[in-house]
Chain A
């Protein structure tokens, strides 16, 4: 029995229900069944809440020097649970401030990439013809430039402001998204519901926003959850190279870079932020996995 018949049978079995179950609700239910993804979502939620609260309410500020605890390993005294760095600054506070910056950059850069990539890809795919071809050749050319090198040049030329960092990363990372969206759009454009929208004389922006983009968003969401950790890593590279956030503020990449210098004398400076980074990356990857399974209509029967 194929998925559609099973679905039809399911519809008959609860005919009393009034509200429809949208494809989104189906996907949510599917996601909830994915254990690793659900656990990752909880962990990520906890890290996010800590990243919001810790820098505000923790007794030790991120740039406050604890003269009695220079380079102290993790201890229960004085709330220095993650120890201090060589300047005596509280690593707990700094780690979660770093989380705040890294996650913000990860999410915002991805949003920038998402907006540009989806709009560009959908237009190129829907218009097709010469314009579409030209738009995709532009993407090919940009693809061939080494992206990280490109970001580094932009950051060195324009100075490293917070805003610029995510504009730069976002502006480089949209290329793959544009390709994914264009590919999906090409197949959806031929669907009969798009033809019937055209036969109503709906305007191109309406068709794009209402008929094309909602239907390409499945694979896009999956890619986005994978893009967030990529962008966190890119920011880490930049910070590692000294091109990211400036003192006294910090990010995971910067903490890892500083910790790497002290690995012989104070290994916790490297391992604590590094493990948070790794855990976060795993979480996003698992969530991406879960979403991919949940949004795949072929898996509806499970």
Chain B
């Protein structure tokens, strides 16, 4: 076999902290050959990022690395900075997870790109500019000349990630290391970037670090699975997916929702028209939430409404789970806050148990809050850092059951802790001592302690690891079965929605575009946007990945201050016609019971 491009032997990384030493990487060894595309997969804390950081000499100050890393036979582990700088950026490049944090906001895109070139190859200004434009073209940024003079905050997340990749490709590196390159991106944008990575394989050797086996499925040739600082399994992609030997790999595979199989239990015999009766728990009619924003218009600035939610109607029946799906910026979180009356609505009605909520006084509304609960996305920031877990969970009791004795309250809290699978000792601890999954359990315990009738979950599992995600979903389903609560489940992750929800509402730019039963939606999506979303899910299954005809949407979400005329989706729609620009589509009911707002579906 030829000499490897990068060889890593017995790599160890240890952190000195005031709580003692933490071994992040425990003797990892692997080889990467020119032309490979290797995925390093593991959950957070598995040491995958620290391995990559050690490879390029970017470890934090309190880390000690030992072992050996050879790049083209040259030892680079713990090498002096000058030597590393000859290699980093030129021979080995890195793409980081958060594209916003990795670009300097005060420097123009072009200047940042040219700086790298002038540092490493001593090009003249003109040469550097020409090369930078060439690379921006390679990463398929629209209008590269215009982007060249823009600042990072003016670009969208997907475009910033493309600029990051462009920066990494500038000097034609032999090895590109990408750390969670798509995790911060929306589903359709992730599909665009992954598609681009596939085309990149011809140019360079790639190492992709990710927690999502679905991401590596259509991309990598070989996979290393890491757990607790060790490589627990390695092999070709087929071997890992079809004949994994290590139990941890199997856990990761099992934790991934598969698109190709139908979920076990059928929906509870509800058609998409359910909730239509007058006994619906919650009815939302033509709800609008607009925020006034100031835009510069020539010399004057004027106020323009940002149409976060622009006329949506839906119903939630008793005991039903309704999913609201859409990419970031589509207005789904605004919708949930409007239903909770945390932000005022501009128009329309929210009818809760036959009563219009927007007409209620603040005091009367506060009484209704007993039956309306919410679980937010970020587990850590949804818990007050200065309160113990016990007092966080007891807060709703103190608010709504003032007469309750301390003893009863403590008993109820212990009960709630047990319900969500936490120990009684956890009661006196503080949120920062818990992992994300545990914090989310605390949030759920607090939301459920009053036995509400409606629970709104705003991206409850999006920031959790895959295996934790699965457990949290199971917990929600158990609690729902036990207490019969209705759930509005908001997510950008269709695969999660498929497991949890009876009925799914697909949202785009403040409008619903499709309302359908879970199975109808996933088996025969009607709206082109739904079709694109479903095809964008990275499937952890090789056969499905290769056969499926992928629909990759071009472009990005238009601004909600100036939505397109007619059908809001037409600017990205593959089947749009002139009619779509002239007339806003009405909802139509299809044969399978799905309701779709599209002229052509």
Residues of A within 8 A of B (CB): 1, 4-11, 13, 18-23, 29, 33, 191-193, 195-202, 210-211, 214-215, 301-302
8 Å CB interface, B467-493 against A? none
Provide the residues of chain B in CB contact with A10, threshold 8 Å: 17, 19-20
Provide the residues of chain B in CB contact with A202, threshold 8 Å: 395, 399
B19 and A192 contact, CB distance less than 8 A: no
CA gap between A11 and B438 in the complex, in Å: 13
B17 and A211 contact, CB distance less than 8 A: no
> In the assembled complex, how far is the CB of residue A295 from the closest CB belonging to chain B, in whole angstroms?
12
A18 and B45 contact, CB distance less than 8 A: no
A200 and B369 contact, CB distance less than 8 A: yes
Residue of A nearest to B377 (CB): A192
B433 and A7 contact, CB distance less than 8 A: yes
Give the number of chain B interface residues (Cβ < 8 Å): 49
Q: Which of B342, B372, B429, B434 contacts A195 (CB 8 A)?
A: B342
B432 sits at the interface (CB 8 A): yes
- The count of A-to-B residue pairs whose CB atoms sit within 8 angstroms is 112
Provide the residues of chain A in CB contact with B365, threshold 8 Å: 201
B104 sits at the interface (CB 8 A): no
8 Å CB interface, B355-381 against A? 365-367, 369, 372-374, 376-378, 380-381
A1 and B15 contact, CB distance less than 8 A: yes
Provide the residues of chain B in CB contact with A20, threshold 8 Å: 388-389, 428-430, 433
- Other than the known A19-B429, A21-B433, what 16 A-B pairs have Cβ atoms closer than 8 Å? A1-B24, A1-B60, A6-B22, A7-B432, A8-B433, A9-B22, A20-B433, A23-B430, A29-B18, A191-B381, A196-B374, A200-B395, A201-B365, A210-B387, A214-B386, A301-B62
B428 and A199 contact, CB distance less than 8 A: no
Instruction: Give the dominant DSSP class at A's interface.
Output: helix
Given contacts A22-B386, A301-B17, A302-B18, contact A5 B44 (CB under 8 A): yes
Residues of B within 8 A of A (CB): 15, 17-20, 22, 24, 44-45, 50, 60, 62-63, 337, 340, 342, 365-367, 369, 372-374, 376-378, 380-389, 395-396, 399, 425, 428-430, 432-435, 443, 446
Q: Which of B20, B378, B385, B399 contacts A201 (CB 8 A)?
A: B399
Given contacts A8-B45, A9-B19, A10-B19, contact A200 B396 (CB under 8 A): yes
A215 and B17 contact, CB distance less than 8 A: no
Provide the residues of chain B in CB contact with A302, threshold 8 Å: 17-18, 62
Provide the residues of chain A in CB contact with B381, threshold 8 Å: 191-193
A193 and B384 contact, CB distance less than 8 A: yes
Provide the residues of chain B in CB contact with A211, threshold 8 Å: 384
Residue of A nearest to B373 (CB): A199
Given contacts A198-B342, A201-B369, contact A215 B44 (CB under 8 A): no
B376 and A196 contact, CB distance less than 8 A: yes
CA gap between A20 and B383 in the complex, in Å: 15
16 contacts between A and B (CB under 8 A): A1-B22, A1-B60, A7-B432, A8-B434, A9-B22, A9-B45, A11-B434, A19-B429, A193-B381, A195-B374, A197-B395, A199-B374, A200-B396, A202-B395, A214-B384, A215-B385
